[in-house]
A = this chain, B = another copy of it.
Amino acid sequence: MCKDCLFKQPLFNILNPNELETLNQNRYEVRYKKGETIFKQGSALTHIACFTHGMAKIYIEGLNNRNLIIKIVKRGEMVGGPGMHTDFKHHFTVTTLTDTQVCLIDAETFQDVVKSNNKFALAMMKKINTQGIKNFEKFINLTQKQMPGRIADAIFYLSDFVHESDHFDVVISRQDLADMTAMTKESAIRILKEFKDAGLISVEGNHFEILDKETLRKICRTG
């Protein structure tokens, strides 16, 4: 039941019981194993995913088999995408990084609720625009920073947002790190090593630790 869900979107509190029940009637739960694809870029957007367990990477499949990871999602987050309300296609691929459980809510039903509840619609718009602001920041990060700045950004993203700690075991591969920062895997590894040699971080396999947050933050800012 959506209404009792521990990982319910705060957004859904805006809905009245009827509306929430409508969503509840038009959803189903799915479990994915690590590495499976939930949404595939180019395919029809028929559902919206709400994560109740696990993590996934959202990435754009670009040119020459290169990907750009735009976000890592985890429990409690909702994934629709810009295909919602427009062409109803997925404009990114979502692949799990761990075993994952999601609720898939029917997109049409979801849109009906948006249509019927102005407050909800406004909250959705706010959510979309907040993502838009983040995308602007990402544009600057990716186009105006050199590799060390971009890797530093990614480390803080993992630390602040994904793992919420300054020491953590990453769920992403080195290739993923490269796909987050728009560089090659080799370059990403080299920068990690530079940071390690400079005593800014400690890296042991998948275990990361931020040692000198100040300097790392400075690298972020100056690019």
Residues of A within 8 A of B (CB): 60, 62-64, 66, 68, 70, 82-87, 91-92, 111, 114-116, 118-119, 121-122, 124-126, 128-133, 135-136, 138-140, 142-145, 182, 221-223
Chain B nearest Cβ from A120, distance in angstroms: 10
Contact A145 B82 (CB under 8 A): no
Chain B nearest Cβ from A64, distance in angstroms: 7
Q: CB-CB < 8 A to A86: which residues of B?
A: 126, 129-130, 133
Contact B126 A125 (CB under 8 A): no
Q: CB-CB < 8 A to A136: which residues of B?
A: 60, 70, 82, 91-92
Identify the closest chain B residue to A115 (Cβ). Answer: B118
CA of A131 to CA of B145, assembled, Å: 24
Identify the closest chain B residue to A123 (Cβ). Answer: B85
Contact B142 A139 (CB under 8 A): yes
User: How many copies of the polypeptide does the oligomer hold?
Assistant: 2
Leading 6 A-B pairs by shortest Cβ distance: A82-B132, A143-B182, A82-B129, A62-B140, A121-B121, A85-B126
Identify the closest chain B residue to A92 (Cβ). Answer: B136
CA of A135 to CA of B137, assembled, Å: 12
Q: CB-CB < 8 A to A118: which residues of B?
A: 115-116, 118, 121
- 13 more A-B contacts (CB under 8 A) besides A63-B222, A83-B129? A63-B144, A63-B223, A66-B144, A68-B140, A82-B130, A82-B136, A86-B129, A87-B133, A114-B122, A118-B118, A135-B139, A143-B182, A144-B182
Pick from B64, B111, B143: contact of A223, CB below 8 A: B64
A–B pairs, 19, beta carbons within 8 Å: A60-B139, A60-B140, A63-B145, A63-B222, A64-B144, A66-B144, A70-B136, A82-B133, A82-B136, A84-B125, A87-B133, A91-B136, A92-B136, A114-B121, A115-B119, A125-B125, A128-B129, A132-B132, A142-B143
Q: CB-CB < 8 A to A63: which residues of B?
A: 140, 144-145, 221-223
